[in-house]
Amino acid sequence: MVDSIIYFPGLRLLTSVSLISVIITIIVSGGICHAVNLLDGLNGLSICWAICAAIAMAVMALSVNDMAVFRLLILLIGASIGILVWNFPLGKIFLGDAGAYTLGHVLAWMALLLMNRHPEISPLALLLIFVWPITDMLLSMLRRKKSGRPIGQPDRLHFHQMVMRVLEIKFFTRARRNLTNPLGTLIILPMATVPMVVAIEFKTQTGPAFIAFCGFVALFVVTYSWALRRAGQCVHRKSPKLNQP
């Protein structure tokens, strides 16, 4: 019953029109690329997240015996690990915009390939893999819009920045950033990868995947709000510059 409701007949009708389908595909792939780039704020965070996302999709591809997509994802995992050893924990090499956008682009198109080649895989299960960077990006856009600033203007209020700030001010006041930066990654990564495990479990079940997606979005917003308040309380005592870009 839930599956039949969540398949959105109107959306399926829209995507049957080639032009609309192309536009939606461009928006989705471009949005994921940008979301992965915004996630690249701590040593190893974006790369580790991308490796986990590729592993999740590789498991899905293997489950439907799609060896072509599986091999491509294994290559992506290997290449990402090669960069990770220099990026984490000390950040001797960085992805930069080009690297982060490339990872996001490849992952987005691997998801689109799986969705197109295997209708039994739920699009919402694939979207669940990307729930962390997508929610962070949309929340950032909403936050900037509400404050009257351009949605593309950078700030220091992303989730990973709040976590690192709380670590620096509350728990490691004498520690250098080369400690709190990778530690922030280790704290965030489990939260960002749990939805991927759920996505694998519900890869063919649209209804549960939809419920899980909504639940993880709500959990992100609640956790982010808590981290923002904690960081604000800490910074209010230490410095008034939290909202400065």
> For position 52, what pLDDT does the model report?
95
Asked whether residue 190 is domain-assigned, the answer is: yes
Instruction: For residue 53, give both structure tokens.
Output: 């996302």
> For position 55, what pLDDT does the model report?
96
pTM exceeding the 0.85 threshold for the entire prediction = no
Range of the domain at 119: 2-238
Taking the C-alpha atoms of residue 194 and residue 18, their distance in angstroms, rounded to an integer, is 35
Asked whether residue 114 is domain-assigned, the answer is: yes
> For position 5, what pLDDT does the model report?
38
Asked whether residue 151 is domain-assigned, the answer is: yes
Contact 43, 185 (CB under 8 A): yes
> For position 15, what pLDDT does the model report?
58
Asked whether residue 245 is domain-assigned, the answer is: no
Asked whether residue 214 is domain-assigned, the answer is: yes
Over the stretch 98-142, which tens digit does the pLDDT of each residue have? 889 999 999 999 998 998 889 889 888 999 999 999 998 888 888
Asked whether residue 189 is domain-assigned, the answer is: yes
* Closest to 216 measured CA to CA, from 156, 105, 154, 136: 136
Which residue is associated with the tokens 């990564």? 189
Low-confidence stretches of the chain (pLDDT < 70) are 1-17, 172-177, 230-245
* Closest to 220 measured CA to CA, from 112, 105, 131: 131
Taking the C-alpha atoms of residue 185 and residue 87, their distance in angstroms, rounded to an integer, is 12
How many domains, the chain?
A: 1
Asked whether residue 212 is domain-assigned, the answer is: yes
Asked whether residue 244 is domain-assigned, the answer is: no
Contact 57, 101 (CB under 8 A): no
